[in-house]
Every structure is written in C-alpha cells, then in structure tokens.
Structure 1
Amino acid sequence: MIEMRELRKNFSVRVKAGRLRRQKREVAAVDGVSLSIARGEMVGYIGPNGAGKSTTLKMLTGVLTPTSGEVSVCGLRPVPQRTRLALRIGVVFGQRSQLWWDLPLRESFRLLRHVYRVPATEHAARLRRCEELLDLRAFLDTPVRQLSLGQRMRGELTAALLHGPEVLFLDEPTIGLDVVSKQAVRSFLGELGRTGDVTLVLTTHDLADIERLCHRLVVIDHGHVVHDGTIEQLHTRYGSRRRVVADLDVPLPPGFTLPGATLTSTEADGHRVTFTLESIAAGAAVAALVTAAQVRDLSVVEPEIEDVVARLYTDVSGAP
C-alpha cells in the first residue's frame, strides 16, 4: 500500500553569518527513508520533535513535494495524483479539523458525503458503524464548536472514514484527550485493525497508543530510520528486561542467586525482592523462586516502552 525509496525532503533556512548577515542553508528534515507497508498493517511511526515524522506524512498525503526519492500510496504518486489519492486515504491531524465549526456534527458528515461522492447507502452504513463504536449518538446534533475535545476527535475519525479509505494516516490522534476518550479512540482503532480493512500509519508521542495498536514500530531520528521491527525486537535490541517482584514470608538467605537474573532491589527488610531477568525466561525464574523461598505474592513486570525508546534516542544522539 505504501512504498518509499530513498525519500528526502530538504528545507532552506537562514542562519546567522556575522552580526548583520544571514546565509541560506539546506536542512534535511527527511533524509533517505525507505519503507514498505503492506495492506492491513498497523504501523507506529515515532520519533522526537523535529525527527521528520509529520514531514513524512505530508509527503505521503501529497501536501509536500519530496526533494528526491520515490513514493507511492495505493499505487499513486501523492503530489501529481493528489485528487485521486484523496478519495482513497483518510487523514486525522490532532491539531487540525475537517469539520464545519458552526454546523451540527451530523451536517458535517452529510456535506462530506457529497465532497467525496459517496453513495447514500454506503455512507449510512459506515456512519451507523462509527456511531456504535465511537458512541456518537448523544452529540450528533451538537454544533462542532460546542463539542469537547474528545467528542470532536471521535467526529474527526468518523469524518476520515466515511468515504471508505484504504489507508488512514493519524498524527497525534489522542493528544489532549481525557482517559475515557483515549480509551474510546484506541478501542475503535483496534477494531479497525482487527478487520484488516484499513492500513494505518500512526504518529504519536503517547507510546501507550503504539503498544495497544501497532505490531510494527518504525523509529525515525534526524530524518533517518533507526529502528524498523516489532516492539519486542526493540526491547531486545536496547537491553530492556522483564522484572520479577516477589513478596516473601522469610527473607532470602545471604548470597542467594538466581541464575540468569540479577537482584536489583531489596525492600521491607528483605521481604520484597526484585530480580531483573537477563538470560532466563520468566516462567523458569518464577519456578526457581517458588522452589527456593517462601513466596507470599509474585508478579512479572513488563518493561516500559518509554524507557526503551529513551535509551534508543540517547544511543542515536550520543547524549549522556
């Protein structure tokens, strides 16, 4: 569905060259990105501010013309064939709206049906599905300007899907949303992913969105792809480890070791211990602890993706 080959986008900026002079300099926002995304994939595309995420999305949607390289979406070239492409993609930008501010939400959807020339029966069927999954009915007749941020984002997602796009681009779709609204949006997108009807590319700073929705994670930094794989591969590559936390009736004997794991903390006078797993599976570690100690309670703590991504950024930038 999406092909990028050595995709580049340069911008001209003016920098100081003395007390009164400025000179022009070329800055690469996207620098040689090559990716293939298959039909039905849900891909998280993340990176720090200024990494090139939004610039990439704008080239994929035909808003920006690449400086060099090749790009196709749905078999179309985004800039020369932008009108045809618009009928086959949906776009949601967290800070921009495609709804009419003074009209009720229902009327915005009706206008979009005519913009995209969607048959009335198809439009009605898709709207009913979105109404159910996103719980829209309570505010369909409310003017967009009176909607809460969470309600408006649910409306934006519906608006992006009513013409039946093959690819959905989402840029910070849950930014600023409350917990309930975030859960509604994530559940809806998860349902889309399970059907496999839509290819989804998600950029966000909320890594919980990525963990819940995307099997594949692409990390970009300074215009370059620095990771392309599963979240599990990211954990493995950057040293992320599971932890086993055990509450004990009796503290472990001095010098106790768990092969393949490191004792990383001891609390409550030795009655709570935490082991970080290195070369041992969680099941084997749990079995060994239960055999060797009087365990009252035990839990396996999954690694935090935020920590892993922060470590990745540090490694790439060379920052301390």
Structure 2
Amino acid sequence: MNVIEVNKLRKEFKSYSSRSGLKGAFRDLFTRNYKVLRAVDDISLQIKEGEMVGYIGENGAGKSTTIKMLTGILTPTAGEVRVNGMDPHREREKFVRTIGVVFGQRSQLWWDIAVQESFRLLKKVYKVSDEDYNTHMKEVIETLEIEPLLDKPVRKLSLGQRMRCELAAALIHNPPLLFLDEPTIGLDVLVKMKIRAFLKEINKKYKTTILLTTHDLADIEALCDRVVLLDEGKIIYDGRLDELQKNWVEGKQVHFEFQELVEVSSLEELSKDFDVKWRPGERKNQWVATVEGDDDAVSRLMSQVMLKHAISDVKINQVSTEEIIRNIYEEGIIHG
C-alpha cells in the first residue's frame, strides 16, 4: 500500500522583476515584468506504509515546497497528489487528522501557556478520546523524557526541550504518517540521539511512515534505508542509501596531518598517477585525499606522500555520505 503517491507534481511561482531607472519605474506602473520560477519540476514519487525516507537536497532544491504540497499547505500548479488516499488540499479538514508535522523552525505549541495545556488543546482539535490520549501520550512522554517540562511555558524551554515537545505534540493523534522538516536543527548530540531512538521505536511499533528532510546527514544514516535526492526541483536519485554509497562513489578518505605546511600543488604532483581529489582539512597543516580504488591504491598513495613529507598523523575513513552528496551536486555524478 502506497501512503504517498505523487505523479508529475509541479509548483511554479511568479517573480516580479523591476526595471531600472526612473523611466523603468514609470513603465512598471502600467506593465510589469514577471519571471516564472519552477520550484518543483514534474516529480513522481511513491512511499509505502512503514517506510522511513530521507528527502534531501541543497537549499532551494524544492524540498520544503514539496512537503507543503504533500501536507496541503500549497496547491500544486500541475500533477497529482494522493496522501493517505486523499487529496491534501481539497480534503484538508479530514486529511490533517491523518498526518503529523514537525517543522524545525516553526512551533505548533502556544508560546505563553504550559506545554500540557497545548497538548490538551491539540487533543480537542484532533478529537482524541481521553482513553486514547492517556494510553498513547503516557508512553510518548516517558520515552521523550518530557514529563518535567509539562508545567513549563513553552517560551521557557531550551531548543532541545521544545523540539522534543513539538514531536510529542505531532503524535497526540498517533498519525500513520509523519512529516519531519529539519527536526534536529541546532540540537546537541544527546538530544538528537534521543529523538532518533524514539522515531525508530514508533516506526517499529506502529509502522508509522516517516518522510524526513534534513541537512544533517547523520540523521539520514541513522534512520533511513531509502533516500530521495532533489536538485533544482527534479529527483536525481531515488533508492537505497547503501546502494548510493556503494555504486556512485567508491573509495576512501585519507586524512594527512603534516609536520609542516604543504602546498596542494606538491600533493597533486605526488598523486598524479592516482584517481584522487585533495581538499583542505580542519587545520592549515592538514589535507584530506579522497581516493577511488582498492586498498592497494590507498597504500601506494600513502607511501608516496610519506616519502616526500614528514607526517605527524594519518587516518583512513570510508567516504562519508556527506562527501558523496557533495560530490553529486558539485560534479554532477548523477544526471536527472
């Protein structure tokens, strides 16, 4: 069963551009120049019940616009959308009872009242019975460790505390589908780990379908088996995360820390017989080599560099998902 079905979905916005000078301003009074911007460009997508899907892309790629159409906030310019068997925009009142939404930079909690009062108001909005609310929310509150926060006004919560309460609020009616837009933005590692563990638990227990957009690829690696990559409004990859890691970018990263400053030109000369890319490390005397090839290629590169330059430290890592995504966008490894 497909929880989300999208076919050739498109969203366009009109952008007004003004002419220069006094003459141009006068002409703008009578006729205006408009430019049509296509934020989402004929995408098709199916997500099954119980899937946890990472929906990722650079700023301006169209992620948030897609989420807003899937949740009924925006009306598509063209294409078909069915979410939980409904049209999100035309059947909005019925539809919103079947989804939960968490926007990392927006709040659904009332700022000046206690958290539990916000929960009670949302309970009435979603028409949740006392029995269902008490049974389900007791578990949610315990798992997210927010019981000490229930009597506090939202404005007195830290960012991490508020985000855990936002997540609990989105789950008051135990929706089968959860949209998360940057849910861990600005949070410390411990809070992120708690939220990830909780999301895994509700996915396992209730088969909650989760669509996650984030710039923190550690969230994607921890939660999602499937990723959808968006670029300039088009889907450029839709498949398993491990297949992306395995098939599109092969190799390892070698982190060199030199005893003296080394110019990249020297490193490029030493590695001209290898398929390798160099980038600066965190400090001035550090360089990172991304080596495509087997372990033998890595060993030979390390030998060449160490023969020429004094090394204080060296580490070998698999190419991270973040590096893979960066390569895809910078060099167009995947073409739509």
Partner SS for 2:198? helix
The question of 1:311 aligning with 2:321 is answered no
* SS in structure 2 of the partner of residue 87 of structure 1: helix
Aligned to 1:108: 118
Aligned length: 280
The answer for the alignment partner of 1:206 in structure 2 is 216
Residue 186 of structure 1 contacts residue 213 of structure 1 at CA under 8 Å; is this kept in 2? Answer: yes
Aligned: 1:236 with 2:246: yes
Distance 1:155 1:275 in 2: 41
Aligned pair in 2 of structure 1 residues 264, 73: CA closer, same or farther (>3 Å)? closer
Structure 2 contact 100–178 (Cα < 8 Å) conserved: yes
TM-score scaled to structure 1, two decimals? 0.81
Alignment of 1:1-320 (within 5 A): 1-19=3-21, 20=24, 21=28, 23-195=33-205, 197-242=207-252, 278=293, 301-316=317-332
Distance of aligned partners of 1:237 and 1:16 in 2 relative to their CA distance in 1, 3 Å threshold: farther
1:176 Cα deviation (Å)? Answer: 1.2
Check whether the contact 2:290–2:319 (CA below 8 A) recurs between aligned residues. Answer: no
Gaps spanning 5+ residues in structure 1: where? 246-260, 266-273, 286-297
Cα 1:144–1:15, aligned 2, differ >3 Å: closer, same or farther? same
CA RMSD, 1 decimal = 2.7
- CA–CA distance in structure 2, aligned partners of residues 221 and 53 of structure 1: 9
Cα distance in 1, alignment partners of residues 315 and 202 from structure 2: 32
How far 1:263 sits from its partner (Å)?
10
What fraction of aligned residue pairs are identical, expressed as a percent? 46
TM-aligned CA deviation for residue 67 of structure 1: 0.3
Secondary structure of the 2:6 match is strand
Counterpart-to-counterpart distance in 2, 1:12 and 1:168: 30
CA distance in 1 between counterparts of 2:69 and 2:276 reads 49
Encode CA deviations 1:26-71: one digit per residue, 9 max, x unaligned: 1100001100000000000011111000000000000000000000
The residue type paired with residue 149 of structure 1 is: L
Q: Which amino acid aligns with 2:232?
A: H
TM-score scaled by length of structure 2: 0.77
The alpha carbon displacement at 1:18 in A equals 4.9
What's the offset of the Cα at 1:90?
0.3
Give the SS at the match of 2:87.
coil
> SS of 2:163's equivalent?
helix
Specify every segment of 5 or more residues in structure 2 that has no aligned partner in the other structure, as ranges.
Answer: 256-273, 279-288, 300-313
Distance in 2 (CA, whole Å) between partners of 1:13 and 1:262 is 44
The alignment partner of 1:153 has SS state of helix
Q: Deviations over 1:173-226 (max 9, x none)?
A: 011112222121111112223335210000011111101011100000100001
Shift of 1:133: 1.2
